[in-house]
Structure 1
């Protein structure tokens, strides 16, 4: 059997949509909230959907003058592992996304950037969270002093793109924002994609 092409699918998403009928808050945390909604399915039946609401976040692909990528290594408690990641952080209430990216880069690494571009928005856990991450490209970096939060401990270092790709392929890097950014940067270096210049 041959599968259809995307162009052969029905127009729109009405035949797939789920509509919220009612809902309740299950848990409220520092910045994550868990909800349980009753929804109407496309066939008229009902189902329960549980999900986390998240304020959103930013991540930064910061390129040094020598072409290396600025990285962090920090311990991630939920998976009990020190992970290699690009700089990132969650949005404060009503915070402009680019302002957040600039703040997080400087707080965590000490660097500021003279040139900023938007790479894209990703949704890292679409099955159970509203979280999105806007990924930025930061260039023309200027070193400075970091200002970590009291509960924040991390190593800052830099690595060439080839090493990042190797870590992703070997399973050393499993973080989704860093994995996507690594492959995007590889395509960018080959002239296959372009970010949207902001500043």
Structure 2
């Protein structure tokens, strides 16, 4: 792959620096020599965990998502902390959100969530070696989740009902469907 369509940054203006994201406005030179503006969200990245119990139940959490004004059922997930390795984040989020831990996390893939306007890179991990932890870890002070354990068929039904409706969780279900075909 070449950078034949590269856009050169002329100037960057910081618009907002927040707890989760930063927003900047870049003025760029386009490949044809014209200029344009690009709104860019900077995000530290995150993880999602496909966690399957000994009973072949998939661990999900139900959580209210304010941008959508509704609750979704999602795989456990969270934001990378500064200088934190993704597998450390994955284990921490699994423990905080589900009450389980693991010593076996397998990196499945990583992908950019919305490359048209954000640089967030999401890492997806898989584990089927879960161990309940004795004392559940505290969630973030502004985080409210409920553990949901579903079979693959139940999760597929929630996708049809748009109760599972985010890309990382749909990817997780598709991944598990693929594993079953092997």
TM range (shorter): over 0.9
Gaps of 5+ in 2: none
- Find the counterpart in structure 2 of residue 177 from structure 1: 168
CA distance in structure 2 between the partners assigned to 1:174 and 1:111 by the alignment: 24
Q: Of 25, 39, 43, which aligns to 2:14?
A: 25
Gaps of 5+ in 1: 1-11, 192-199
CA distance in structure 2 between the partners assigned to 1:16 and 1:146 by the alignment: 49
**Offset at residue 71 of structure 1 (A):** 0.6
TM-score by length of 1: 0.86
Contact 2:77–2:94, Cα closer than 8 Å, also in 1: yes
TM-score by length of 2: 0.94
Q: How does 1:71-90 map to 2 (within 5 A)?
A: 71-90=60-79
Which deviates more, 61-70 or 147-156? 147-156
Alignment length (residue pairs):
180
**Structure 1 residue ranges (4+ consecutive) displaced by more than 3 angstroms after TM superposition:** none
Which deviates more, 101-110 or 170-179? 170-179
Contact 1:165–1:183, Cα closer than 8 Å, also in 2: no
CA distance in structure 2 between the partners assigned to 1:40 and 1:151 by the alignment: 41
- Find the counterpart in structure 1 of residue 159 from structure 2: 168
**Offset at residue 149 of structure 1 (A):** 2.1
Query: Quick check: 1:110 aligned with 2:99?
Result: yes
**Offset at residue 40 of structure 1 (A):** 1.2
Q: Of 125, 147, 157, which aligns to 1:156?
A: 147
Query: Quick check: 1:133 aligned with 2:122?
Result: yes
**What's the C-alpha RMSD, in Å, of the aligned pairs?**
1.2
**Offset at residue 50 of structure 1 (A):** 0.5
Contact 1:57–1:133, Cα closer than 8 Å, also in 2: yes
